[in-house]
Amino acid sequence: MAATIIDGKAIAASRREQIAARVGELKEAMGVTPGLAVVIVGENPASQVYVRSKEKACAEVGILSEKHALPEDVSQQELLALVDELNTRNEIHGILVQLPLPEHIDEDAVIEAITPAKDVDGFHPISVGKMMIGQETFLPCTPHGCMVLLEETGIELKGKEAVVVGRSNIVGKPIAMLLLAQHATVTICHSRTRDLAEVVGRADVLVVGVGRPEMIKGDWIKPGAVVIDVGINRTDAGLVGDVEFEAAKERASAITPVPGGVGPMTIAMLMENTLLSAMRATNMD
């Protein structure tokens, strides 16, 4: 039987509606409008697409967005000065510096300069550490979006075999922690994993974020598994994920499409974090 296609686009739209309502309540009760500052350096085309989507989503839910586009050759000092200024401005509740940054800028230094209270990306070491030990914090948007999609499928994670392919700081490592917090048995695979097909074949829940078009073959997947594909790869055949979708959907019980799966959820979770930050700032949480 073919898999249920997990409609990230529809789930994200429904979340944005709920967020818009809560943004309205915050405005009404406290006279506060959540504000998100988005910083983009240089002309990376993919980054520009993402930043535009974030601005559009902000407008839709009633969050004020403020874009700071800096030239490719901006100095690290200038970028840090901007982050400092945004840290101090009360009407800014979230700061997002779009990654990747140009080579001459130390990405870690920039992430660490963002005050954890406005770290809506959840990339600051304090946010990462809190997530790891189960304290309340801003969850990173893509892994959080994946968890919401899993929740929507209704799958019980407790005791299940979850396999994560990819160990990036943005996707693989944090999603592994969130799955663990839900009592899954978690295995993290990466480029040096021996017999990837065998490990993938054990997964009741498979999350893939490696950035390699259709690297995970459909016939590796355990029949009935839930598959979350975080990959977005531009190929001659259009956008494809990291999982061989057509074959995988014949074995999985549920699977995210690319596009229209995880992508829209990332942005919805960013809106949610920005709202949450504004609520915390006004003691409305």
Catalytic site residues?
Answer: 54, 98, 121
Closest C-alpha among 269, 277, 271, 55 to residue 174? 269
Residue 139 vs 205, nearer CB to ligand GUN: 139
Cβ neighbours of 55 (radius 10 Å):
16
Residue 5 vs 69, nearer CB to ligand GUN: 69
Name which position in 141, 147, 207, 226 contacts ligand GUN (CB under 6 A).
141
Query: What b/e sequence results for 227-253 when a residue is b if at least 16 CB atoms lie within 10 Å of its CB, and e otherwise?
Result: bbbbbbbeeeeeebbbbbbebbbebbb
Residue 141 vs 199, nearer CB to ligand GUN: 141
**Binding range to ligand GUN, per CB under 6 A, among 10-18, 93-101, 159-167, 240-248:** 93-101
Question: Which string of x and - marks every residue 95-134 that binds ligand GUN (by CB under 6 A)?
Answer: -xxxx---------------------x-------------
Amino acid letter, 96 = L
List 67's β-bridge partners, or say none: 38
Angle between helices 172-181 and 125-132 (to 10 degrees): 30
Residue 76, token pair as written in the block: 């690290």
Name which position in 23, 113, 170, 252 contacts ligand GUN (CB under 6 A).
170
Residue 141 vs 252, nearer CB to ligand GUN: 141
Positions touching ligand GUN (CB under 6 A) are 96-99, 121, 141-142, 170, 266
